Structure 1
Amino acid sequence: MRLPLRDTAAVAAGVLAPFAAALVLAPLRTSVTHTNLALLLVVVVVAVSASGNRFAGALAALSAAAWFDFFDTEPYQSFHIQDRADIETALLLLAVGLIVSQLAAHGRTMKRVAVTDATHLERLHATTRLARSGTSSSDDVVRQVRQELIEVLELRACRFEYGTLVGRPPRLEPDGTVQVDGWVWDLERQGWPEGETELRALVHGRYQGRFLLTPEPGSVPPSLEARLVAADLAAQAAEALDDDGVGARPMS
């Protein structure tokens, strides 16, 4: 499975940014204390961690410690350190870099989770408002849910079948798991199954139809939270169809 472009760039920055910074700082090694040079490299580690992920941050900390040793400690252009104080500084650089990289990545993760939660909540509220507006048909609700599913699951396409159960495609369950031939599919490790995956629209145990999901080839699977939101959206569509009594007719 391919890494997202952002994560790939972050990993590359984790390797290259400390190297570039240490190279730029090398002319200052005789006029600036080694401790201050190490602190400047910590800033680079934090910058990578804040815009990347935990792995990129840890990689940046390791890279910073290595290039600090290579460029800023005697003997220069060597990964050998003679002075005990420089050894301690290099080890502290590594330890502090690892700690701050994880803290920065954690903060970025928490921010992303908060924004994602708010977005998911708004999707559910918007669909509820549409269903209860009194001016929209069940078809309107189904169309909106289709669009929301494409966005929340990052799909290439999504279509809806009214009241039919033809074939046995992979199925996204209400608990967020994916079933293939009665077995739980390891979505995180294996990615989406081949072909379309169905998400049934059920309300009070009554089947109203199903959404057929087509993921982008090679895409990263959505989080469990996103899949649970998708199941809730499908349930809202099912409730609208049940209220109208039109679950078994083809979509116009």
Structure 2
Amino acid sequence: MSTETGTWRLLHRAKGPRPAPAGARPLRDRLALTAGLVAPFLAALALVPFRTDLSHTNAALILVVVVVAVAALGSRAAGLLAALSSAAWFDFFLTRPYETFDITASADIETAVLLLIVGLIVSQLAARTRRLEVITVTDADHLSRIHRTADLAQSAGSADTVVDHVRRELTDLLQLRACRFEYGTLMGRPPRLQQDGSVTAGRRPWDVDAADWPAGEIELRTYGNGRYLGRFMLTPGPGPVPPLQARLVAVTLADQTGAALDTAGPAEEG
């Protein structure tokens, strides 16, 4: 399999990393939640001296900027909190009657509602942009593995060199205790890491989101031009099954190994 083909499959079938467990929220997100509550209050308070001269539309736009900043800094939850806080303090400080949560003018009600809606939308967009940045960093690491293997497959004098390289890559990528490669005939029916990144045990799919790896070794087969050439036998380490993105990279590395073995010919396979 070429590097371009492996990259295409990874980018089109991988998903983002698993969310952090509850209670493990990063410090950055906790600070953003605080900013989501406090920053709109401070911004609205700062606009109080100008509220008679500043149009309500311009004031709302300033608060939208605050929402965007908070959402870009932290999580989606922080952006949502900032949007709600902005709408509340806009009502309290910047619409008549001042220092109450009552609005008498219909135009001010419309502005407050629009502020809330726009704030919610932009917070979603900003948070999504941040998430995509995280996924891009992860993809860069995964893609570097694919490119390293492709370069080695083209330059290595022996397919065994590629096999050993991929065995080490799989051990690191999937956090394995051990990884070995078997040439030739299939023996037994161990659990299998499939081409789509799923895991099967026997004839049944394995729930990778709710369980650890199946017990025992996991096979990852390699093919060259549709012909079975061998399999990596994976001994899982402790902890849950790695994310789908990592599993798809593992499948791509196995495919590159199969391509190297197929090019080398029968003499290399024994």
Identity of aligned residues (%): 44
Deviations 1:69-99 (A, max 9, x none): 46666564x6x33333443332112111122
Aligned to 1:8: 25
Structure 2 Cα separation of the partners of residues 47 and 117 of structure 1:
26
- Kept in 2, the 8 Å contact 1:156–1:214? The answer is yes
Q: 1:174 to 1:149 in 2, by over 3 A?
A: same
Alignment partner of 1:227 is 2:247 = yes
Alignment partner of 1:62 is 2:84 = yes
Aligned to 1:45: 67
Deviations 1:22-65 (A, max 9, x none): 33235435313355443333223212333455555445433443
- Kept in 1, the 8 Å contact 2:36–2:81? The answer is no
Aligned to 1:21: 39
Alignment partner of 1:163 is 2:185 = no
Aligned to 1:176: 197
Query: What's the Cα RMSD here?
Result: 3.9
Structure 2 Cα separation of the partners of residues 202 and 134 of structure 1:
19
- Kept in 2, the 8 Å contact 1:14–1:59? The answer is no
SS at match of 1:8: coil
| Structure 2 gaps, min length 5 | 1-17
Give the alignment's TM-score, normalised by structure 1: 0.70
Alignment partner of 1:140 is 2:161 = yes
Structure 2 Cα separation of the partners of residues 116 and 159 of structure 1:
23
- Kept in 1, the 8 Å contact 2:64–2:119? The answer is yes
Code of the residue aligned with 1:3 in structure 2: it is A
Structure 1 Cα separation of the partners of residues 243 and 269 of structure 2:
29
Code of the residue aligned with 1:180 in structure 2: it is A
| Structure 1 gaps, min length 5 | none
SS at match of 1:83: coil
- Kept in 1, the 8 Å contact 2:176–2:237? The answer is yes
Deviation, 1:206, is 1.9
Q: 1:193 to 1:127 in 2, by over 3 A?
A: same
SS at match of 1:174: coil
Alignment partner of 1:190 is 2:210 = yes
Code of the residue aligned with 1:227 in structure 2: it is R
Code of the residue aligned with 2:192 in structure 1: it is R
Give the alignment's TM-score, normalised by structure 2: 0.66
